[in-house]
Structure 1
Amino acid sequence: MGTFQIEGGHSLSGEIQPQGAKNETLQILCAVLLTSEKVTIHNIPDIIDVNKLISLLRNLGVKIEKIGRSNYSFQSDDLNFEYLESEAFKKDGSGLRGSIMIVGPLLGRFGKGFIPKPGGDKIGRRRLDTHFEGFIKLGAEFRYNKEERFYGVEAPNGLIGNDMLLEEASVTGTANIVMAAVCARGTTTIYNAACEPYLQQLCKMLNSMGAKIQGIGSNLLHIEGVDTFTGCEHRILPDMIEIGSYIGLAAMTKSEITIKNVGWEHLGIIPNTFRKLGITIEKRGDDIHIPAHTEGYEIQNFIDGSIMNISDAPWPGFTPDLLSIILVVATQARGSVLIHQKMFESRLFFVDKLIDMGAKIILCDPHRATVIGHDFQSNLRSTTMTSPDIRAGVALLIAAMSAKGTSTIHNIEQIDRGYENIDERLRAIGAKIKRIA
């Protein structure tokens, strides 16, 4: 179990480049299974979850070539289906939640797909019903081996387009169903589809491969099935979650930081949500500039004077992956805020570690926490803690960098799952952080 040792209380300065988006990359990598031709993908982040999926694809028989620091080519012209029935696949697939998205393209192209119950963050119940109900709507037969916790879908005669209303706007569920529906005979409509920028990117990539998808960016997709797909070239967007993390880090450490090439048009309400905490965010071309908040920052109230409430919601609402960052940043603001985590019931349980550091937080229930800001009148205390998941881990890292003294964070593999060489990149702008094996 790896460890970070952080000497807090230092201001940072300089420029930082966000990595490619983790959540988009996991979808895009699965889409390479739809064609036998070469697919080239740029700006792939070097993180644990992505590397696990690349390894899984390689074991499945995908020919993979690294052609640059973050650029790869993939060719799925000779797949090894025996791997899908192997114990090795059960182990590889169960260690990564994103592995579920190989089922859609395999089902669409080959008429069958298998996956062990996938892993991922322990942040509450995350159902797979949406995925498999969508496949069943397209004519697939579903089976589940309860003893081996192994899912399978088959459509030996091919898929048939259908109209469906998703019970939830699941991002991975929508992506999976889309990658199957593009191969179905006839037309499919998906209502209550997720419409996150990363899902839009997937649809645009599929169209460049020969798919016929309309309604991209809305929650109603129209898909006309096609028989074959060509290769393509695609570039991953900057990671909006990492961008939001750096905004929070700059504010908490009173640092002047420029975040380069952020893709402003894809950030939605993220910048304005941080502005509600009183953080100054300047748009400079396609960069975000955060000036040093030497006088602190003040949380807004609603127009009627009531306490600010920040909650998550499916896109274009505020992403749940950044609520932990918002929460930790609020601990040093002037004023109070109610954080409402609607989508996952265990994601706020890391606040006890912030309370141990001196933060004033009332955990109202598994979904809501009230934060009373310190206004930097008292510093968070350094401590030793363990990262429970990716996003909480980075929130704790930000807290440690603002605290006086030296903090220790264990289980940093959770952070490495979503953030590329974060210790090296933060040291480049002045952070005092060491990685201890």
Structure 2
Amino acid sequence: MASLEIEGGYPLRGDIVPQGAKNESLQVLCAVLLTPEPIIMRNLPDIRDTNKLIELLGSLGVSVEKLEEGAYRFEAKDVKPEYMDTPEFASQAASLRGSIMILGPMLARFGRARIPKPGGDKIGRRRLDTHFIGLEKLGAKFNYNAKDGFYHIDGTNLEGCYMLLDEASVTGTANIIMAAVLAKGKTTIYNAACEPYLQQLCHMLNRMGAKISGVGSNLLTIEGVEALGGTEHTLLPDMIEIGSFIGLAAMTGSAITIKNARIDQLGLIPSVFERMGIRLEFRGDDIHIPVHHHYEIDTFIDGSILTVSDHPWPGFTPDLLSIVLVTAVQARGTLLVHQKMFESRLFFVDKLIDMGAQIILCDPHRATVIGLDRKMNLRGIRMSSPDIRAGVSLLIAALSAEGTSIIDNAEQIDRGYQKIDQRLQAVGAKIRRL
């Protein structure tokens, strides 16, 4: 088990280039299964979740060639569906939640799929109903075998239909889209997710020959086609990492410039941090965060406590609520964080409280942060990372604290943040991997 040792209290200076988007990578990588022709991808992040999915694709028979750092060539002309019947597949797929998105492509192209209950973050229940109900409406037949813990799916006769999703699930929408592009007839998906990463998937599929309209809205229309071809695709920068670096700069009193941020794709992220009193300077497509000796949380117009909560896009992403929470610890004022989607995602705040933060965990979904306004510094402690986003929030807290902190289970951070220790060292962080 890896650990990170952080000596806190040192401001950072310099430029940081965000990695390719983790959440986009898991979707577009699964899409290579839809065609036997080559697909070249650029700006893939070098993180555990992406690398494990690339390994899974290789085990399924996809030819994988690394062209350069972050660039790969995939060719899925010799896919082996029978690999899904092996114990090795069970182990690989169960350890990676993103593996659920191979269902749509495998059903669309090969007519069958098999998947164990996927793994991933321990942040509460993450139901798969949207995936399964949507695929069933296209004609897939599911059978759960309680003995081996696998879902067995028959998708030999997929046909387009109208569906109203019960929730705007990003991965669920992606899975259904990838199944529908090769299904017979027209599919209409209402209440579809419309995140930039899902838009990227749709644009990529359209370049491959799919016929998807309504991209960017919550109403998608898909005309099924006989086959798809190859393409080239470049991933967006990771908006969650960009938000993390904004919070890191403010919390540690640092001057950081985030390069090539694709500001046009960030939605509400800049404005939420601005409401927390953080000044952002937009320089072309770069975001510069100057040194903040103090930053004050806004209130609602009637003077009540500002609440930041998660919503489907174009609302605020749930993946940044942990970052917003920790950034508020050294602000002036009070913030209520309302995490609606996952009932275990706020449980890392006990570690921040141990460091000296003033936080009231109201219930599994809500926490009130009373900002310290730099009148008292956090203190370094030893702690463990429960999930990707909480891990980086604890890392931000440790970088701002007095003394030395150790974060165990750093593999969780590595699942979503590329070489985070080396990249932070380059801007002056005193951090090393144990």
Question: Normalised by the shorter chain, which TM-score bucket?
Answer: over 0.9
Structure 2: how far apart are the matches of 1:98 and 1:155?
A: 20
Counterpart for residue 17 of structure 2: 17
Matches within 5 A, 1:176-195: 176-195=175-194
Query: Which residue of structure 2 aligns with residue 102 of structure 1?
Result: 102
Matches within 5 A, 1:270-309: 270-294=269-293, 296-309=294-307
Alignment of 1:213-232 (within 5 A): 213-232=212-231
State the partner residue of 2:418: 420
**Correspondence for 1:150:** 150
Q: What's 1:166 paired with?
A: 165
Question: What is the SS of the residue equivalent to 1:37?
Answer: coil
Q: Amino acid of the residue matched to residue 237 of structure 1?
A: L
Contact 2:65 2:73 (C-alpha < 8 Å) held by counterparts: yes
Map Cα deviations across residues 317-368 of structure 1 (whole Å, 9 max, x no partner). Answer: 1000000000000000000010000111100000000000000000000000
* Root mean square deviation of aligned Cα: 0.5
Give the corresponding residue for 2:37.
37
Once the two structures are superposed, what CA deviation does each residue of 1:400-422 show, in whole Å capped at 9, x if it has no partner?
A: 00000011100000000000000
Please state how far the C-alpha of 1:155 moved relative to its aligned partner: 2.3
Rounded Cα–Cα distance in structure 1 between residues aligned with 2:397 and 2:147 = 42
In structure 2, the residue matched to 1:326 is 324
* Matching of residues 38-437 of structure 1 within 5 Å: 38-156=38-156, 158-294=157-293, 296-436=294-434
Match of 1:67, SS state, is strand
Q: How much does 1:152 deviate?
A: 2.0
3-state SS of paired residue (2:68): coil
Distance 1:27 1:147 in 2: 29
1:312 and 1:149 map into 2 onto residues whose CA distance is: 32
Deviation at 1:431, TM superposition (A): 0.2
Shift of 1:103: 0.6
How far apart are the structure 1 equivalents of 2:184 and 2:338?
43
Q: For 1:256, give the aligned amino acid.
A: A
1: CA distance, partners of 2:61 / 2:196: 29
Counterpart amino acid of residue 282 in structure 1: E
CA distance in 1, matches of 2:188, 2:66: 37
Which amino acid is the alignment partner of residue 386 of structure 2? P
**In structure 2, distance between residues paired with 1:417 and 1:161:** 35
The 3-state SS of whatever aligns with 2:166 is: coil
Aligned amino acid, residue 276 of structure 2: L
Give the whole-Å Cα distance in 2 for the aligned partners of 1:148 and 1:192. 34
4+ aligned runs moved over 4 Å, structure 1: none
1:362-412 deviation per Cα after TM superposition (whole angstroms, max 9, x unaligned): 000000000000000000011000000000000000000000001110000
Question: TM-score normalized by structure 2?
Answer: 0.99
What is the rounded CA distance, in whole Å, between the counterparts of 2:371 and 2:274 in structure 1?
Answer: 15
Shift of 1:269: 0.3
1:142 maps to a residue whose letter is: F
**Cα distance in structure 1, aligned partners of 2:362 and 2:375:** 25
Q: Report how far residue 280 of structure 1 moved.
A: 0.4
- Tell which deviates more after alignment, 230-239 or 77-86: 77-86
SS of 1:109 mapped into structure 2: helix
The AA in structure 1 aligned to 2:174 is A
- After TM superposition, give the deviation of residue 114 of structure 1 in Å: 1.4
1:16-66 Cα offsets, whole Å, 9 max, x none, are: 000000000000000000000000000000000000000000000000000
Distance in 2, matches of 1:164 and 1:404, equals: 54
Indicate if the aligned counterparts of 2:81 and 2:113 stay in contact, CA closer than 8 A: no
Q: Distance in 2 between matches of 1:316 and 1:344?
A: 19
Distance 1:5 1:140 in 2: 49
Cα distance in structure 2, aligned partners of 1:289 and 1:266: 17
- Aligned counterparts of 1:262 and 1:114: Cα–Cα separation in 2: 38
2:54 partner amino acid: I
Tell me how far apart the structure 1 counterparts of residues 338 and 249 of structure 2 sit (CA, whole Å): 23
Structure 1 letter corresponding to 2:382: T
For 1:349 and 1:78, the matched residues in 2 are separated by 45
Q: Distance in 1 between matches of 2:347 and 2:155?
A: 42
* TM-score, structure 1 normalization: 0.99
Q: Distance in 1 between the 2:314 and 2:290 partners?
A: 27
Give the drift of 1:82.
Answer: 2.0
Deviations 1:43-100 (A, max 9, x none): 0000000000000000000000000100000000011122110000000000000000
Using the aligned pairs only, state the percent identity: 67
Q: Name the residue aligned to 1:8.
A: 8
Are the aligned partners of 2:280 and 2:289 in contact in 1 as well (CA < 8 Å)?
A: yes
| Distance (Å, rounded) in 2 between the aligned partners of 1:174 and 1:369 | 30
Q: Residues of 2 paired with 1:136 and 1:302: CA distance?
A: 44
Unaligned runs of 5+ in 1: none
